[in-house]
Amino acid sequence: LGLNTCPGGDKWVPGQSAEVPEEKARVSDGAPPPPDVRWTNHGNKHVAPKAPWPSVVKSTANGGAAKYLPGTDIEALERHAFVNGHDVNNGKPWKVIDMEKTIGANDGKETPYMRVELSANTIHRHPISEESFRKLTKNKK
């Protein structure tokens, strides 16, 4: 019957594996893999210019484009937010996340919040204000 080729040879017991269960476990067990999405820098619209940070923060007020802190690995941050962010309450394919430290500026203020949206299998993103974050995460009534 070929039992001599089973794990453990002649000492094999049905239902037991030759491997220790703890050695087979993986962090991702039970969780789907991250989606395969594309990323672009969207023309560097949200990359801070080489200017003093307080000036960059001020430039985001009154409709100015949100900016990430200089030196930020934007792609890694956005992919993290896409995988770990929270769905929004408006039915759109967006996610928001509180990074718990300043990641950029929006509406003339530093912010730890960002929004990531998926469109045509490409993620687009930017820092958002606390007000926007609260609005997008407020429970529906």
Q: At residue 89, does pLDDT exceed 70?
A: yes
Asked whether residue 50 is domain-assigned, the answer is yes
Structural domain contains residue 122 = yes
Total domain count, the chain: 1
In a domain, 17, yes or no: no
Task: Report if residue 25 sits inside a domain.
Answer: no
Q: Say if 63 falls within a structural domain.
A: yes
Mean pLDDT of all residues in 62-75: 87
Task: For 103-130, write each residue's pLDDT tens digit.
Answer: 999 999 999 999 988 777 777 778 899 9
Is residue 26 domain-resident?
no
Instruction: Note whether residue 76 is domain-resident.
Output: yes
The mean of the pLDDT values for the chain is 75
Following DSSP, what letter does each residue of 93-139 receive, concatenated? SEEEEE-SS--EEETTEEESEEEEEEETTEEEEEEE-HHHHHHHHSP
Range of the domain at 67: 31-137
Q: Do 79 and 123 form a contact (C-beta atoms < 8 A)?
A: yes
Residue 78 falls within a domain, yes or no?
yes
